């Protein structure tokens, strides 16, 4: 536990004791917001006698939820902390488990991760004869996501309004109906389905509104509009809604989060936590001098009682190699002086910027880790192993396709096509189709009989043995464990061992449950992200600034600070001033990750982002000269180049803002495609989806005319 866990400052204590009504806490970076949340939770239980079953505390990541549970348990002398300390998606899973029956949705639904979504997309694309040379899987899924965002598909396709089906494309219908067939939800569906049930079933809505006496939301600035809708609906009766966040750290506008949701939240009480426990005054002064240029924020000025610390260094390199070599040299010097590799983080706006840095680190024999490599649960050997459990639990087609020939069972493409045709005709799962047709000449093979027998025995065992024993049985009896030992390298075998350990750990965490359901385990792990499972290790961390959110390091290097790269000009062009402000918030996040020392670097050369010479970022020019020590000779013409680039972008924004904007339903004309109708509009990006006689087109507004 940190010092803040034992001694709260005046404002933190005020927040803890503000239990009634709508309370907004603006928690600056490093101001102890987690301490406030856990102490408030404990205060509700210990001092007010509130039942934990009546408290919902929503966090942004599973890692944060786990940390909070552990700290709450210590403060309440209880290790049986309520399940309602979770992410918003975690809450939706629990909600749908209980309320899904109202629309005929079972408890044992599965959750699609990114790889599952891609596999499903490929199935639909192949089934519809869509060439992946014309439309990538990524583009296909982006269109599916867009259609989900802008349609009542749950009401029309899942619950059932046949008269409305004609308004959806064939591919969208097939995709979401395949989901429904196997009761598989993606993260967007979890939110959408929860909203649908809350809005359409008064009994369910009143139950949850009455149950949740107190609602707390961590990182509230990162909630999108639909998530805010759930939060507001749940808090209607008691109005005890406690939100904690910082609009200056809202960096997820691309997923729908907008700082104005938080800024405009109507609160009975506003509390600002502006004492920082993480960074030195020199670092905070730099952070404050940058973020003050934003308009969509709640004014605050971070302060600290820590010693002044080292002045922030700005290094100007002659080229990327020079910049990278300087970073490596600084790290090496600090390690020689007593620091350890794990004390360092190198942050960048885009992943490609790591290349030259990696080369410099290797040259200097410095151990490093790329944060955000392949996610643990997305590694092939892990997905293969879990697919056996998923097929046992859900009998879903995606898992069946993945493992029917793993290990080899003489089940080729022709056999799969035959089985898929049977399943389509009988409207059943592939597993059930195989079960019903195992005696037919096509499928009457010993490996397939053993495959079915494995799952029949596993079903019987599932009620008698632990999850970890069931997992071991499936891997051993299927032959997958033997194949992995024969073909896999040491790392893959270690990953399987780690998975087995995680299942045992899950059992230990839920030892008070009467029955640890396989379905519940699979649903829970599907919510986890890379950041939740990544082992920190003892190496230097390289990561994007987005990945650094919520982390802190003694020494932080922010590299690639060239205008166009950071801030990203594409972001500014697409979203104009909103884009510029989000880029500045991203810079603020990067700066406030540093505890002891901060290094800002950029270099000369050619800028791929702007297709011109590189110039220092505008963010460097926003920092007072007294707050920075500059190393490297910056030609004054380079600073003029920055000003000219900024002016150029501003002129483009002004020109762009004069472009005619359209709304859904508007009739428009295009010089080539003819007359069409706007069916989806994003005016702030000058982006529109238009339905023409010959199909849909995604177009910019400047090529369209009102008719």
**In the block, which residue shows the tokens 């927040």?**
15
Structure-token pair, residue 348? 């960048």
Q: Is 221 a catalytic residue?
A: no
Residues 6 or more apart whose CB falls under 8 angstroms from that of 116 comprise 184, 398
- Residue from 59, 194, 249, 642 carrying the catalytic annotation: 249
**In the block, which residue shows the tokens 């919520």?**
550
Give the span between the Cα atoms of 510 and 514, in whole angstroms. Answer: 9
Q: What angle do CA 348, 66, 227 make, to 5 degrees?
A: 70
**Does the N-terminal peptide bond of residue 472 adopt cis geometry, omega within 30 degrees of 0?**
no
- Residue from 34, 194, 523, 592 carrying the catalytic annotation: 34
- Residue from 409, 593, 618, 689 carrying the catalytic annotation: 593
Give the span between the Cα atoms of 285 and 289, in whole angstroms. Answer: 6
Could you please report the per-residue DSSP string of 619-678?
Answer: HHHTS-GGGEEEES---HHHHHHHHHHHHHHHHHHHHHHTSPP--TT-EEEETTTEEEEE
Q: Is 249 a catalytic residue?
A: yes
Give the span between the Cα atoms of 97 and 170, in whole angstroms. Answer: 30
- Residue from 219, 246, 325, 580 carrying the catalytic annotation: 219
- Residue from 11, 22, 24, 33 carrying the catalytic annotation: 33
**In 328-402, which ranges are E strands?**
344-348, 368-370
Residue 90 contacts residue 190 (beta carbons within 8 Å): no
Give the span between the Cα atoms of 7 and 400, in whole angstroms. Answer: 54
Looking from the CA of 231 toward its CB, the CA atoms found within 13 Å total: 28
Residue 91: which of 129, 118, 59, 50 has the closest Cα? 59
Q: Is 449 a catalytic residue?
A: no
Structure-token pair, residue 385? 């192993």
Give the span between the Cα atoms of 472 and 548, in whole angstroms. Answer: 36
Residue 327 contacts residue 541 (beta carbons within 8 Å): no
Residues 6 or more apart whose CB falls under 8 angstroms from that of 130 comprise 124, 140, 171
Residue 113 contacts residue 525 (beta carbons within 8 Å): no
Give the span between the Cα atoms of 568 and 564, in whole angstroms. Answer: 5
Q: What angle do CA 79, 218, 44 make, to 5 degrees?
A: 50
Helix (H) or strand (E) holding 57, with range, is strand 55-59
Give the span between the Cα atoms of 413 and 405, in whole angstroms. Answer: 10
Q: Is 219 a catalytic residue?
A: yes
- Residue from 189, 218, 322, 563 carrying the catalytic annotation: 218
Residue 113 contacts residue 526 (beta carbons within 8 Å): yes
- Read off φ and ψ for residue 596, nearest 5 degrees: -100, -40
The b-or-e profile of 77-97 (16+ CB within 10 A means b, else e) is eeeebbbbbbbbbbbbbbbbb
Residue 498 contacts residue 534 (beta carbons within 8 Å): no
Length of the chain: 707
Burial of 567 (0-12, 13-18, 19+ CB in 10 A): buried
Residue 213 contacts residue 54 (beta carbons within 8 Å): yes
Residue 110: which of 570, 426, 410, 522 has the closest Cα? 522
Q: Is 33 a catalytic residue?
A: yes
CA 612 to chain centre: 33
The per-type count for the chain, helices as H runs and strands as E runs, is: 30, 22
Structure-token pair, residue 596? 């002891």
Q: Is 138 a catalytic residue?
A: no
Give the span between the Cα atoms of 148 and 178, in whole angstroms. Answer: 15
- What are the residue numbers of the active site? 33-34, 218-219, 249, 593
């Amino acid at each position: 536990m940190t010092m803040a866990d034992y001694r709260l400052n005046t404002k933190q204590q005020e927040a803890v004791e503000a239990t009634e009504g709508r309370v907004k806490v603006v928690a600056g970076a490093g101001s102890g917001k987690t301490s406030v949340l856990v102490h408030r939770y404990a205060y509700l239980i210990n001092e007010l006698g509130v039942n934990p079953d009546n408290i919902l505390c929503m966090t942004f990541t599973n890692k944060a939820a786990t940390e909070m549970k552990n700290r709450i348990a210590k403060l309440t002398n209880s290790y049986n902390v309520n399940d309602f300390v979770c992410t918003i998606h975690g809450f939706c899973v629990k909600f749908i488990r209980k309320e899904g029956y109202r629309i005929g949705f079972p408890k044992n639904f599965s959750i699609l991760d990114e790889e599952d979504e891609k596999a499903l997309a490929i199935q639909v694309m192949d089934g519809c004869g869509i060439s992946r040379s014309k439309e990538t899987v990524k583009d296909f899924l982006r269109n599916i996501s867009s259609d989900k965002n802008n349609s009542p598909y749950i009401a029309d396709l899942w619950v059932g309004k046949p008269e409305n089906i004609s308004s959806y494309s064939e591919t969208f219908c097939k995709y979401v109906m395949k989901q429904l067939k196997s009761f598989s939800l993606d993260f967007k569906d979890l939110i959408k389905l929860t909203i649908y049930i809350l809005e359409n079933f008064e009994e369910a809505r009143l139950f949850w509104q009455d149950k949740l006496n107190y609602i707390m939301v961590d990182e509230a600035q990162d909630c999108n509009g639909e998530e805010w809708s759930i939060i507001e609906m749940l808090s209607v009766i008691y109005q005890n809604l406690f939100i904690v966040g910082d609009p200056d750290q809202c960096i997820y506008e691309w997923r729908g989060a907008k700082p104005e949701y938080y800024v405009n939240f109507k609160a009975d009480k506003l509390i600002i936590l502006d004492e920082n426990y993480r960074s030195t005054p020199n670092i905070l002064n730099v952070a404050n001098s940058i973020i003050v240029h934003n308009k969509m924020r709640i004014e605050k000025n971070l302060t600290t009682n820590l010693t002044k610390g080292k002045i922030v260094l700005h290094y100007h390199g002659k080229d990327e190699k020079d910049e990278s070599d300087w970073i490596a040299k600084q790290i090496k010097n600090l390690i020689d002086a007593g620091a350890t590799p794990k004390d360092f983080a190198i942050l960048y706006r885009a992943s490609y910027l790591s290349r030259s840095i990696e080369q410099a680190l290797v040259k200097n024999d410095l151990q490093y880790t790329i944060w955000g490599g392949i996610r643990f649960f997305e590694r092939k050997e892990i997905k293969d192993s879990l697919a056996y459990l998923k097929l046992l639990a859900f009998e879903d087609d995606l898992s069946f396709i993945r493992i029917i020939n793993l290990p080899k069972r003489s089940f080729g493409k022709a056999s799969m096509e035959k089985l898929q045709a049977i399943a389509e005709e009988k409207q059943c799962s592939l597993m059930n189709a195989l079960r019903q047709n195992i005696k037919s000449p096509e499928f009457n093979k010993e490996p397939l009989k053993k495959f079915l027998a494995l799952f029949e025995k596993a079903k019987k065992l599932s009620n008698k043995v632990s999850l970890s024993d069931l997992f071991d049985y499936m891997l051993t009896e299927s032959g997958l464990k033997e194949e992995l030992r024969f073909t896999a390298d040491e790392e893959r075998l270690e990953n399987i061992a780690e998975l087995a350990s995680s299942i045992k750990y899950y059992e230990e965490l839920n030892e008070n449950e009467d029955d640890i359901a396989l379905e519940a385990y699979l649903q829970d792990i599907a919510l986890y992200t890379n950041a939740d499972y990544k082992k920190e290790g003892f190496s230097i961390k390289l990561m994007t600034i987005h990945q650094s959110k919520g982390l802190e390091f003694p020494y932080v290097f922010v590299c690639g600070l060239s205008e166009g790269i950071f801030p990203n000009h594409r972001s500014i062009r697409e979203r104009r001033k909103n884009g510029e402000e989000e880029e500045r918030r991203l810079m603020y996040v990067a700066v406030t990750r540093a505890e002891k020392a901060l290094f800002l670097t950029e270099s000369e050369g050619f800028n791929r982002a702007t297709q011109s010479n590189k110039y220092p970022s505008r963010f460097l020019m926003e920092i007072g000269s007294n707050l920075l020590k500059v190393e490297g000779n910056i030609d004054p013409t380079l600073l003029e180049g920055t000003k000219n680039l900024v002016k150029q972008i501003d002129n483009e924004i002004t020109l762009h803002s004069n472009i005619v904007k359209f709304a859904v339903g508007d009739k428009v004309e295009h010089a080539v495609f003819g007359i069409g109708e706007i069916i989806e509009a994003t005016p702030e990006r000058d982006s529109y989806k238009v339905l023409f006689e010959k199909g849909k087109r995604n177009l910019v507004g400047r090529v369209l005319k009102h008719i």
